[in-house]
C-alpha cells in the first residue's frame, strides 16, 4: 500500500483545523499509520523544502513552517499520494477548487494550511525526515473490506 506525508501547517493548527483536516482523510477511507505534533527545527525545514532553496519565498516559507507547531502524519492507502494532493487542492488557495482543503480554508499561498508529498519518491524522503521507522504503526482495520473490493 502507498504512503504519503501530510502535515497541517502552523496556520492550520492555530486556526483549530487539525481535526477537520484529519477527518477528511479518515472519512475518505485512508488509514493513519503515523501521527504527531511537533515544532520543526530550522535545519529540518530547510531540508524538507530543499528543492525551493534560493527561491524568493524560501526564507519566508522556512520562517513560517517553523513559527509554531505542526501536526505531521503518514497516511496509507491506494493511490494516496495523488489523491491526497487532489483533496488538498492547488498550491495557491485562490486557485484551489472550492471543497478542497485549501479551497475551503485558505486564501494566501503562504498560508495554505496543509502540506502533502507530490510523488511517491517525495513521500518516502519526507516520511524519513519526520518519522522514525518505529513511529509508524502497522495494523489492520475490520472496516477495510468495506473500503477496498
In residues, how long is the chain? 149
Q: Find the binder of ligand UDP among 36, 38, 42, 57 (CB under 6 A).
A: 57
Q: Closest distance between ligand UDP and the C-beta of residue 140, in Å?
A: 31
Enumerate residues 117-136 that contact ligand UDP by CB under 6 A.
118
State the DSSP code for 76: E
Q: What DSSP line would sit under 39-90, residue for residue?
A: ---HHHHHHHTGGGTTSTTHHHHHHHHTSS-EEEEEEESTTHHHHHHHHH--
Q: Which of 11, 106, 115, 127 is catalytic?
A: 115
Q: Find the binder of ligand UDP among 3, 31, 48, 115 (CB under 6 A).
A: 115
C-alpha cell at 94: 485562490
Q: Closest distance between ligand UDP and the C-beta of residue 143, in Å?
A: 30
- Contact positions toward ligand UDP, by CB under 6 A? 57, 61, 91, 109-110, 112, 115, 118
Amino acid at each position: 500500500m502507498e504512503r504519503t506525508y501530510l502535515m497541517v501547517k502552523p496556520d492550520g493548527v492555530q486556526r483549530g483545523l487539525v481535526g477537520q483536516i484529519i477527518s477528511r482523510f479518515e472519512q475518505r477511507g485512508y488509514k493513519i499509520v503515523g501521527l504527531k505534533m511537533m515544532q520543526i527545527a530550522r535545519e529540518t525545514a530547510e531540508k524538507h523544502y530543499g528543492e525551493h532553496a534560493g527561491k524568493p519565498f524560501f526564507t519566508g516559507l522556512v520562517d513560517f513552517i517553523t513559527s509554531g507547531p505542526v501536526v505531521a502524519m503518514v497516511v496509507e492507502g491506494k493511490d494516496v499520494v495523488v489523491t491526497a494532493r487532489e483533496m488538498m487542492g492547488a498550491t495557491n488557495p485562490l486557485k484551489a477548487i472550492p471543497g478542497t482543503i485549501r479551497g475551503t480554508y485558505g486564501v494566501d499561498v503562504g498560508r495554505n494550511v496543509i502540506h502533502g508529498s507530490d510523488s511517491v519518491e517525495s513521500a518516502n524522503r519526507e516520511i524519513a525526515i519526520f518519522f522514525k521507522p518505529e513511529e509508524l504503526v502497522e495494523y489492520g482495520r475490520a472496516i477495510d473490506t468495506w473500503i477496498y473490493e
